[in-house]
């Protein structure tokens, strides 16, 4: 069984299951997080362009600096931030601000390679190759399903959760996001409090 279970396995049988797992990040939170991250990347390119303009009047140089910095940010912004250790693992600046985080299907910390697969190959590269058409399908296809998995989530084998809940890791893996108390007891629908303690394993 993978680390992510769509609903608590031991939830009471008489409790009706909602259409969407309540632990997952909402569509609006994901939208605003994406907007913040997009603006952060654009701002990085703009600042580099201003610095280049202060150093030279050559428009070709200014354009080249903007392009190179923007490309570097596109390739590295997500992987470098999401691979952070501790409770910020799986978070970009936008996700951190909006209180959501990416979790792997196995319940293990997000690595540089996993984020590169999800956010660069699964988003930027495919969007470029399809002249932007992929982007039009990426989010709508996933965010209106019960697991809210976008196409790039499926490519990266990830889910996006609210940052205040814990997710059990697979039995064969070291615990990554886990709580000391038994999660999802029969009278609990969401994991218990104590998110800070639940994620100490990320710092190992």
Tens of pLDDT, residue by residue over 140-165, are 887 777 788 899 999 999 999 998 87
CA 10 to chain centre: 27
* Reported confidence tier of residue 33, pLDDT bands at 50, 70, 90: very high
Task: Give me the pLDDT at residue 189, please.
Answer: 32
Helix (H) or strand (E) holding 127, with range, is helix 126-129
45-74: average pLDDT: 81
Mean pLDDT for the stretch of residues 105-109: 82
pLDDT at residue 6 in the model: 55
Of all residues in the chain, what percent carry a pLDDT higher than 90? 29
**Average of per-residue pLDDT across 26-54:** 88
pLDDT, residue 107, reads 77
Report the b/e string of 67-98 with b at 16+ CB within 10 A: eebbeebbeebbbebbbbeebbbbbbbbbbeb
H/E stretch holding 95: helix 93-98
The pLDDT, as a whole number, for residue 36 is 96
């Amino acid at each position: 069984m993978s680390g992510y279970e769509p609903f608590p396995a031991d939830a009471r049988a008489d409790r009706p299951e909602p259409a969407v797992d309540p632990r997952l990040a909402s569509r609006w939170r994901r939208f605003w997080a994406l907007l913040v991250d997009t603006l952060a990347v654009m701002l990085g390119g703009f600042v580099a362009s201003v610095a280049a303009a202060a150093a030279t009047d050559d428009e070709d140089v200014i354009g080249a600096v903007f392009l190179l910095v923007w490309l570097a940010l596109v390739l590295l912004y997500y992987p470098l931030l999401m691979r952070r250790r501790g409770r910020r693992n799986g978070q970009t600046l936008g996700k951190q601000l909006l209180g959501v985080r990416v979790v792997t299907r196995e319940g293990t910390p997000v690595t540089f390679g996993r984020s590169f697969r999800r956010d660069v190959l699964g988003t930027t590269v495919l969007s470029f190759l399809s002249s932007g058409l992929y982007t039009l399908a990426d989010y709508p296809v996933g965010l209106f399903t019960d697991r809210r998995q976008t196409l790039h989530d499926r490519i990266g084998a990830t889910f996006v959760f609210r940052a205040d809940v814990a997710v059990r890791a697979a039995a064969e893996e070291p615990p990554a996001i886990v709580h000391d108390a038994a999660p999802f007891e029969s009278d609990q629908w969401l994991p218990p409090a104590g998110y800070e303690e639940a994620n100490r394993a990320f710092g190992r």
